[in-house]
Structure 1
Amino acid sequence: MADASPSPPPKTMRAWQYSSTSGGLEKNLKINPSAALPKLKPNQHLVRISAMALNPVDYKPAQIPGVARLAVGLPATPGIDFCGRLITPAKDSPLKAGQMVFGCAGNNPVAGGALGEYAVAGLQAVAALPEGMEVVDAATVGVAGTTAYQSIVPRVKAGDRVFVNGGSGGVGVFSVQFAKTMGCYVVATCGTGNVEFVKGLGVDRVVDYRTENVVEVLKGLREKEGGFDHAVDNVGTNEELVLGCHEFMKKEASYVIVGGEPTLQGLKDILKRKLLPGFLGGVKGKVEGFFPAHKTEDFEKMAEWMTQGKVKAVIDSRFKYEEAVKAFEKLKTGRARGKIVVDEPNSRLLLLKQGVIMAKGDPLGCGGCDSGSEHLNKDKCREMNENMILEERAKFKEAQQSYGRQYDEPLTRLVNAVRANDEEAKAAAKKDFGELSDEMRKFVYDHNAQERLRVYILCSSRESF
């Protein structure tokens, strides 16, 4: 999926940014309509974001007092996981401008910039989006997929017994699926409400941490079936589980901690594990910390499994770009089942799915065809629509030089009619707006870009509301 001549990036972009995390990062997030594009290094790609997904790392470290200002730099744009179109490939990259790619964005592991219209990504931090893989699914892979993959896949073999603490969260849903794909016997924990969901991911034994003592259950399983060959802790806050891991793990088997809380208590727990000997209350098993590294080949393998149907993306909820604050609020509840996705601001595909506009020539209802005749596959449809959006945004910039606010009144009435779903007002507003000349309608003034773009597509495509 490559566009031979992708539109050049603008000098500024829309981006969600925060200049403080006092009271919570989400309470300080604001859209900057003219944020500068990130500076591109030779070993980095420039991508235009189509969709992104949130992770706890997007807010937890930044909320530690002093970290945001000293380690991140302010103002900052959060977000790491993404899928988007490659605008400028990194030096020596085999990828081409116009290709759809996915992976991890940014120069900073805390504020990657994926909640902006454009972001940078390292040479090894992306892979090409394969045919058959949906943009929104690819956007969920990034941090969560890499963490799950690298903490399990290179460390296990078919027939191994694997324990996953936290099998229903963003990382956990990948962890259990990767372990099953590798041919392992998998035991995972989750809360009561997610038991059936986690079973549906293929887990062999689900432990409900709300009604069962996890350590005792695991000890019992060891006595009956044998100890575990590998364990991954996606939660990292249950010290009883960590300190008692030797009671259910095989000798020399690793208990890998990938989750945890960046708090004073969390730091005390880490020091206790590292410094205290076992007979004084320290760890008796083989406990390891973990931090993932970007590898293109890992992204490619995960994408292969997903297109083969061996692994699926699990999306808890999906938010519009303007609802990024609500997305963070949902993330911070700690109750997301899978990933939380935020759509790119002017995605025509999103407008189609919201029922705001209708596609031409779309007999199979994929929400993407513009051919007017034969049906194209979803990936091709998406490529055409992404290209159209880029072209229309360029036209809006030109419109700023050609026309002024004299068209705001009929446009505003039309937008309000659409929002209110008032059929009578829609008809009247559409008639008024339709009386403008084709040239005037073509160059709608770019003020409040998303709404203007929505109206432009509605009218210029000659589609009904």
Structure 2
Amino acid sequence: MRAVTQERFGPPDVLRLADVDRPRIKAGEVLVRVRAAALNPYDWHMLRGDPYVARLLGGVGVTRPKSAVAGLDAAGQVAAVGADVRGLRPGDEVLGFCPGAFAEYARTTADLLVPKPARLTYAQAAAVPLGAVTALRGIRTVGRVQEGQRVLVNGAGGGVGTFAVQIAAALGAEVTGVCGAGNAELVRSLGAAHVLDYAREDFTDQRAHYDVILDNVGNHPLNRLRGALTPTGTLVANGGGSPGHLFGAVGSLLRLAAVNPLVRQRLRPILPAAPAGPAHDDLLAVVQLIESGVLTPVVDRTYPLADTAEGVRHVERGHARGKAVITVA
């Protein structure tokens, strides 16, 4: 099968389209014929082995990538199921977490897959797993957003932000989205009552205070973010960090944990870089929101499998409008 492979850590140029063996599944596993795979900031972090501390925490590799084929989010059809798999059969259309998704076939477990909503294309469905689950956890599970609250989403035009704005608005919150000027109309159309252009306005100037802030960017110091919260507000920190950093977002999250016990505000991290926790339940909840018309994936652009490196470059620049997606014929 065709797959995008990497033999060492580095920039997108290290990616190569190659012929490799099709994954073999074991009991409890599912082989997915990948039709589309989403690109996430997670992917360029794994590509570069960034931050360096992540290499010591496991799952990435220390001197070279642990997995030769990258990618996590996928949509496609079940090609085969292993023993003990219930509720899935060959031909079923699915979406979910499929490590090694930048390939024609990927292996995963049944609990990381859910049925694909019929109204979504494969490209739209592939855009769902990591972005929508992270947004759901950030807004509903960690942020505990309630009707009538004032919620700010920093990075509202991105892969997580576009989902977060929709979820917060559906919960009855008054949503402010922070994004670039080019994404302002999009963010308004998703349910934001107010939109701030980050190039012209600083939401941490304390002219407004929010009950919940979901920070997907990490471009403001903690004391400034706290100043934009109400006295008992909640900050939900979703990653951040840049290529080549020794600690990246890990350092910011450690500072968050150190300050949290000392203040009345709730300072909470959300770690979206793996399908940890109740992934299946969260995926089902997201699919229900999609099927009810509350949630719609935003696809920025698509790339063929051979152009995966260019897609990673686009996402790494940090200006994606919703999600970028790899299509696999």
Task: State TM-score, norm by structure 1.
Answer: 0.62
Q: Which amino acid aligns with 2:37?
A: M
Pick aligned residue for 1:192 from 171, 181, 192? 181
5 Å-filtered alignment, 1:5-404, equals: 13-22=1-10, 24=11, 26-33=12-19, 35-63=20-48, 64=50, 67=55, 68-70=60-62, 73-74=65-66, 76-89=68-81, 91-105=84-98, 112-154=99-141, 155-216=144-205, 219-222=206-209, 228-239=210-221, 242-261=222-241, 263-264=245-246, 266=248, 267-275=250-258, 285-292=265-272, 293=276, 294-344=278-328, 347=329
Provide the rounded CA distance (Å) in 1 between the counterparts of 2:259 and 2:89. 52
1:232-253: CA deviation from partner (whole Å, max 9, x where unpaired): 11112321xx323333323443
- Tell me which amino acid in the other structure corresponds to 2:114: A
SS at match of 1:336: coil
Which stretches in structure 1 are left out of the alignment for 5+ residues? Answer: 1-12, 106-111, 223-227, 348-465
Equivalent position amino acid for 1:221 in 2: A
Greater relative CO, 1 or 2 (CA 8 Å, sep 6+)? 2
CA contact (8 A) 1:188 1:203 kept: yes
Q: Higher helix fraction: Structure 1 or Structure 2? A: 1
Letter in 1 for 2:246: L
SS where residue 207 of structure 2 aligns? helix
| Superposed displacement of residue 176, structure 1 | 0.4
Contact 1:18 1:30 in 2 (8 A): yes
Asked whether the equivalents of residues 203 and 228 of structure 2 are also in contact (C-alpha less than 8 Å), the reply is no
Partners of 1:269 and 1:81 lie apart in 2 by 26
Distance 1:307 1:82, change over 3 A: same
- Between structure 1 and structure 2, the one with the greater Rg is 1
For residues 99 and 164 of structure 1, do their structure 2 counterparts lie closer, same or farther at Cα, with a shift above 3 Å needed? same
Is the Cα–Cα contact under 8 Å of residues 148 and 174 in structure 2 kept in the other structure? yes
Q: Unpaired runs of 5+ in structure 2?
A: none
Count of paired positions: 312
State the Cα deviation string for residues 430-449 of structure 1 (Å, max 9, x = none): xxxxxxxxxxxxxxxxxxxx
Structure 1 pair 314/286, CA: closer, same or farther in 2 (3 Å)?
same
Larger strand share, 1 or 2 = 2
After TM superposition, give the deviation of residue 173 of structure 1 in Å. Answer: 0.5
Alpha-carbon distance, 1:205 to partner: 1.0
